[in-house]
Every structure is written in structure tokens, then in C-alpha cells.
Amino acid sequence: MNEFATQKRLAPELVEIDSRHEGQRIDNFLTTYLKGVPKSYIYRVLRRGEVRVNKARIKPSYRLQERDVVRIPPMRRGEPATVTAKPGDKLIELLNNSILYEDEGLVIINKPAGIAVHGGSGISFGVIEILRAARPQAPLLELVHRLDRDTSGCLVIAKKRSALRHIHQLLREEGIEKRYLALLQGAWQGGARQVTAPLRKNVLQSGERVVRVAEDGKPSQTLFRPLRRWKGASLMEVMPLTGRTHQIRVHAAYLKQPIAGDDKYGDADFNRTMQAKGLRRLFLHAAGLHFTNAAGKSIDVSAPLDPALQQVLDTLGDE
């Protein structure tokens, strides 16, 4: 049954929002509700003010509240695009075996490298689609945050709208402690160091996202702490104190000690050297999370390092 079927319809083009969708952006709500309608058209009717909430014009970023009344203009809905690829049993089993923590409001997995967090841009499906396929009866499964496709480690998925709102608030207030492991180029000098270079996100004509250090960028803070050093590389514990796109990767490159395997911000010679030692991906792993959930429980989760990355460290250790 369509999840919206139980929502009270006040008129053919009016929808009353229930608690499951409280806090959701209106553009994301419409994308799900209006299956088969292109996103470009949805944003067009939003800009024109044809979509109203409680009879008022709203922006695409407006977050719905319980009992909001959304007016949706008449529009022709095409058939949803045919999706032939579906997550296979092996992928579903892989994610089921990657669960690190679960309660009634959320689930945390150790995301494998190489799997995107969601489908799109030529990717048929990602973590969220695989989990939804594994749990077809789940009323809600939503990504709380994102990890790059080549980054492994702790990823939080909300099972309740209230849990999603709570963790989003923690993220805005920097109330979640995130710990990463990264292998950086060169031998780190000294102890812990905090980088505060502001970051600006640009989109190239090709559509590729590129983040640069810029004076007019958003404030960004990353703490680097050395764990182990070799002649040509250093294993670091990295704590992003803000949550900007590609923050750790760009700040590492800003220090002229980019992350091993980073083909966007890294050093090609260093990447080839590490590839010869068995590295086949970006050496960035979300190793741990610590926060307090909506019920006041302290959550402390650690994700074991990918064996392939551990093997690279073992190779360096033999030098």
C-alpha cells in the first residue's frame, strides 16, 4: 500500500501531513508523492507558487509540520521510469551483516566502500534502496547523513521521523562526535593540529562537485591527530568539527598531505606508490560515532577497519 494512502485527503488536490512526514522538506515530499513527475517540473511549480502550504507560498527548503495542508496543483503524472536493476540477495545480506547498532529509532551500519548511500547519476541503487528492499514493511528508512561512495564506515539511517529530526538537530549543533581514520601522504610533524580553513563548494560545467579553500567559504574545522607514522605516510585519527562536503579530503590536501587514494584532491605519484602496496580505494574510514539519542541514551559505535585497508597498513609496517 502506498504510504500516503492513510493520510487524510481534504480535497482532490489537498493533502494533510501526518507525523511520519513532519520535518521533511517539501521538495523531497513532492518527489516521493508525485511519482512519475520530473523533478524539474516539481521545482518549477514550487517557484511559481502553485504549491501552497496552509494557503501560503513556500520555498523548496520548507520543512513540513504535522497537520500542514499541502495544496498540489493538478498535473499529469507519467509512468515512473522503469527500473530493471534491483538489489541482489548478496548485497542485502552484505548490509544485514554490516549492522553495528539498532534500536527502535535508528540503525547504524558499517558501510562498505564502493556502495553509494543512494541511487542516482547512473547508479541504480545505494545503501538506502538496498535496506528498503531488505525491509519492505518498514514504515520509514531515511538517510541521516552521507558518506562518499569510496568512504567506508559508520552510516546512520533513521527508522522514525522523530529520530531523524533529533539527529539533524545534533548535526546542526555539532552534537555528534565523528572519528575517522585516514592515511595521509608524508610523515606527520608534531602532535594534534586543528585546521580552520573555510571551504566553498563549486560545481563544474561537467556537473562535478569540487570543494576549495576560499576566504568567502563556510567556516570549517577539522582536528588531525597522529596515530602512527612511516617515512612516506601517516595514519591519522581525524575529527571533523563541522560537516562540510569533502571537508577532511580538502583540509588534508590544504596541509599538502592528501589522503591516499584520493583521485580528486590527492597526489598522483603518492597514489601510485600506495597502489603498489595494495591500496585500491580512498583510505578514509568513518571509524566511530558518539551522540545521545532522542531518549537520552548515550550511543557509542565503532566500525572495524576494512581488512583491505588493514592489509595496506601491515605492508607499511613491514618497511
C-alpha 158, offset from chain centre: 12
Q: Note the pLDDT of residue 130.
A: 92
Which phi and psi (to 5°) does residue 107 adopt?
A: -135, 140
Q: What's domain 14-71's superfamily in CATH?
A: RNA-binding S4 domain (3.10.290.10)
In sequence order, the 6+-apart residues with CB closer than 8 A to the CB of 314 are none
Q: What's domain 89-161's superfamily in CATH?
A: Pseudouridine synthase (3.30.2350.10)
Higher pLDDT, 269 or 30: 269
Q: Note the pLDDT of residue 65.
A: 84
**What tens digit of pLDDT does each residue of 222-247 get?**
999 999 999 999 999 999 999 888 99
Residue 160 DSSP SS3: coil
User: Which of 27, 89, 148, 314 is an active site residue?
Assistant: 148
Q: Region 202-214: what's the mean pLDDT?
A: 76
Q: Note the pLDDT of residue 222.
A: 97
Q: Region 84-102: what's the mean pLDDT?
A: 87
Q: Region 139-162: what's the mean pLDDT?
A: 91
User: Quick check: is 300 catalytic?
Assistant: no
Of 59, 74, 66, 67, the C-alpha closest to 28 is 59
Does 3.30.2350.10 match the CATH number of domain 176-317?
Answer: yes
- The per-residue DSSP string of 55-75 comes to TEE--TTPBP-TT-EEE----
What pTM was computed for the model? 0.75
**Does residue 42 surpass a pLDDT of 90?**
no
89-161 and 176-317: identical CATH topology: yes
